Amino acid sequence: MSSHKKDRFEEVIRDLAARFFSIESNRTSMITVTKVESNTNNKIVTVYMTVYPENQEEAAMDFARRNLSDFRDFVKEKSRLALIPFFKFEIDRGEKARQKIDALTI
């Protein structure tokens, strides 16, 4: 798969994940999808996110993991992807580190 197609594929998934969390979350925390990474054949996709406030991370991850099949159905319904990948959700530790560095330099 070309780099452009892979980037486009990941952008579609990122947008759908952001929409899904916006619609389905209970709004006790803010879930932001920061990036999406797929393996070489796009069969497994990792969706990275940040959660605010930080003390709600575990609850947000539990919510995301409980709703994996609903998210997969959402992607199937809202996209025109030929093959629907399997998903994993992770906290974006790199983004959290970047935010802490930014806070220290201000």
Kindly list the distances between the CA atom of residue 58 and the CA atoms of 38, 91, 106, in Å, as whole numbers in the listed order.
23, 9, 28
CATH code at 74? 3.30.300.20
| pLDDT tens string 5-34 | 889 999 999 999 999 999 998 778 899 999
| pLDDT tens string 52-75 | 998 999 999 999 999 999 999 999
In this prediction the pTM is: 0.86
Q: Is the dihedral of CA 50, 57, 18, 92 positive or negative?
A: positive
pLDDT of 96 higher than 70: no
Residue numbers of the domain that contains 14: 3-105
Domains in the chain, number: 1
